[in-house]
Chains A and B, each alone.
Chain A
Amino acid sequence: MKLGDHTITPTKIICVGTNYMDHIKETGLEIPKEPVIFPKTMNCLILNNEPIIYPRFLYNNRKLNRVDYEVELAFIIKDKCKNVPLDKVYDRILGYTVFNDVTARKMQVKDIVSKLPWFRSKSFDSFAPIGPRIAEIDEINDPHNLNIELKVNGETKQSSNTKYLLFKIPELLEYISKLFTLEAGDIIATGTPAGIGPIHPGDKIEASIEKIGTLTNKVILEGE
């Protein structure tokens, strides 16, 4: 897949949940002692200006008809790695991009309460917009001091700064690479700040991070 000037071939997308204090407060979840991680699959990925498809069977079901945006800073793995020590983390990172972890919220809440996997609510086609480009690692001095924002139809809904990340990029990569081998092109999304809320067919979603750019996606109903 082509992200600006870069072509990457990811084998997995790993997302971090509950990683901004303000978001942890709004969800009422506990402060995690170690990173909370879950996957998204490749069918989720779409690029800048491609539509987010609102699945019809969610839209038509009152128990399932809430789908949310979540703007996140993502980083891309440069080469194959396992057990990366904290002080070597940035050697393994190609760069940064904007990520929108679109989530079928009512389905997720229902599954969490029943202690079921989180996967299905996160995995629909087009539920992982990414882009508009990869800012290479040396373009950004401090990835933990970037304004991060999301607008729906021009109205700001999320506005924070990556300095509020609970687990920072080095801790995340050290932790995740203890568990799994990562490959070049793999995508790690670092979690979303407060202000999550619903999207609807017809909405225009603009997710931005300072020094990287803006990722724009329209929402359409499946089949339209």
Chain B
Amino acid sequence: MLNIKIGKDTIYPTKIVCLGRNYLDHIKETNAPIPKEPIFFVKTLNTLVTDGNPIIYPNILYSNQEYNRVDHEVELAFIISQTCKNIHVENAYDYVLGYSVFLDITARKMQIRDRNIKLPWYRSKNFDTFSAIGPRIVHKSEIDDPHNLDIQLEINGEIRQQSNTKHMLFKMPEILEHLSKFVTFVAGDIIATGTPSGIGPIQPGDVIKASIEKIGHISHDVLLEKMK
């Protein structure tokens, strides 16, 4: 089992499930159709880094013109508090421990290439350090309405993404109801709720700051992977 310390909480996630296309402004910028039900994919645990640790830009992406675009995506994540399956909307919050800031780093050119030849989305999302989370888990009781929080991402002090969680297409109760039809969640599992518009590339040397109102911010330097 892998443990990860976020603020003063230690969690033992077994999976990270991410929503795609869950903000209307982001759907428009990608020219994707509006989904009728949540679109989700998974990130594996090798991707996790906590606040202050670097995001590593893989050499095999950086040195290949077909793959050399890696993007930031700031997201609101929620953490599961106990084992659950087939949850109903009205009981969803009984299974939520709290909220955190999440960065879904994505090898964009690789993702687009894979999708266009009908391959899985997996590898472009799952390089080591491609899921930043933190700086703490805000207990659900501390936030009255998680669907009314300003969400923002800055690179080197310049704002790149700026929105509010009220623009989420599927809200957390619907997300948990839908996902828990498929998989059993256990305490510590992480669900990231999708990114607003403004996605764009990161480069080695950048400092990324991702923040959500009432939760805080995470800050990460982007480093090029060292070759042995």
Contact = CB atoms under 8 A, between A and B. Distances in A.
B228 interface: yes
Nearest to B47: A180
A41 B42 contact: yes
B223 to A, nearest CB: 16
Chain B interface: which size bin?
A: 35 or more
A106 interface: no
A117 B111 CA distance: 10
Contact of A43 (B15, B44, B45, B128): B15
A115 B123 contact: no
Interface string A113-127: 101111110011100
Contact of B126 (A41, A116, A118, A179): A179
B120 interface: yes
Contacts of B128: 82, 180-181
B63 interface: no
Interface string B182-193: 111110000000
A123 B46 contact: no
* Contact residues of B: prevailing secondary structure: loop
Given A42-B15, A116-B39, A179-B126, A125 B118 contact: no
Contact of B183 (A14, A17, A123, A180): A123
Interface string B161-187: 000000000000000000001111110
Contact of A11 (B45, B117, B123): B45
B26 interface: no
A75 B12 CA distance: 24
Nearest to A104: B182
Contact of A115 (B44, B118, B228): B118
A168 interface: no
Given A37-B120, A41-B14, A117 B2 contact: no
Most buried by B among A9, A39, A83, A181: A39
A57 B14 contact: no
A191 B2 CA distance: 27
B109 interface: no
Interface residues of A, number: 34
Interface string A43-86: 10000000000010100000000000000000000000011000
Interface in A167-221: 178-183
Given A43-B15, A83-B228, A183-B46, A9 B1 contact: yes
A48 B226 CA distance: 43
A107 to B, nearest CB: 10
Contacts of A37: 120, 122-123
B62 interface: no
Given A37-B122, A42-B14, A117 B20 contact: yes
A110 to B, nearest CB: 12
B116 interface: yes
Interface of A: 9, 11-12, 14, 17, 30, 36-39, 41-43, 55, 57, 82-83, 112-113, 115-120, 123-125, 178-183
27 contacts: A9-B1, A11-B14, A11-B45, A11-B46, A12-B45, A14-B44, A36-B120, A37-B122, A41-B42, A41-B183, A82-B128, A83-B228, A113-B118, A115-B116, A117-B20, A117-B41, A117-B121, A120-B40, A124-B183, A125-B184, A179-B58, A180-B126, A180-B128, A181-B128, A182-B46, A183-B2, A183-B45
